[in-house]
Structure 1
Amino acid sequence: MSQNYAEHPSMFRNKPFGFILSLLLIPVVIGVIILVVWYLKCRSTKLEINGDEIILEQGLLSKDRTELNTSSIRTVKISQSLMNRLLGVGTLSIFTAGDTPEIQVDGMPRPEVFRELVKARQDQA
């Protein structure tokens, strides 16, 4: 099993203005609370490709784990605003069957690398 992509959502690159605002609010103490909660939320979400499986793990104390086989994936959609494109992050939506995404994660770094890895795995199968 080779692991080529294992990332957590990015804090600063996903929402740079929210990050700067949180830093400005540190003297009021609410900025520290916002940053800690945001950091824990980002670190408790992980998207990875392991072999022919895509695994999304979410949760800090209790875990929610979603596994998809790359052969069952129909579409990988990347949504990026102009700022997201400049900073290299985006929202990944993975569709298997139906109109709702099986997996959707905001703020993922290098989303185009993820899509290319999924395509390569599908071509190998």
Structure 2
Amino acid sequence: MNRRQCREEVFKILFGLEFHPREEVENQIRLALDEIPDLKEEDESFIHGRVTQIADHCEEIDAAVNEAAEKWKTTRMGKAELALIRLAVYEIRYDDTISPAIAINEAVELAKRYGGKESPGFVNGILAKFA
């Protein structure tokens, strides 16, 4: 699995977590990972670690997004868009191996696939404030 594919799996798990209480994070990650066919150990470790790290920093990430997103709060955002924004903000703020431009571009591309018509522009607009 390449980095883009791993990122997409991270997004899918983050999206799914929106429908479960916080105390079920670990169980939901395990269930989601079990559904990915032919998952290599290194990819599983990366995906699990990334989702866990984002969940651990979720309050900080959401506070930063709420501050950056004029007239929008995370509680009003679509679940797909919010998962993508959280993923990208985590990568921008906490992962020195990914440039902000790549994190933003990847989130916008995923928004085109998984969000609505307005999603790519919305995601890009918020993430641009973190670049």
- Is TM (by shorter chain) over 0.5? no
TM-score for both structures, normalised by structure 2: 0.26
Q: Give the structure with the higher percent helix.
A: 2
Structure with max Cα Rg: 1
Q: Give the structure with the higher percent strand.
A: 1
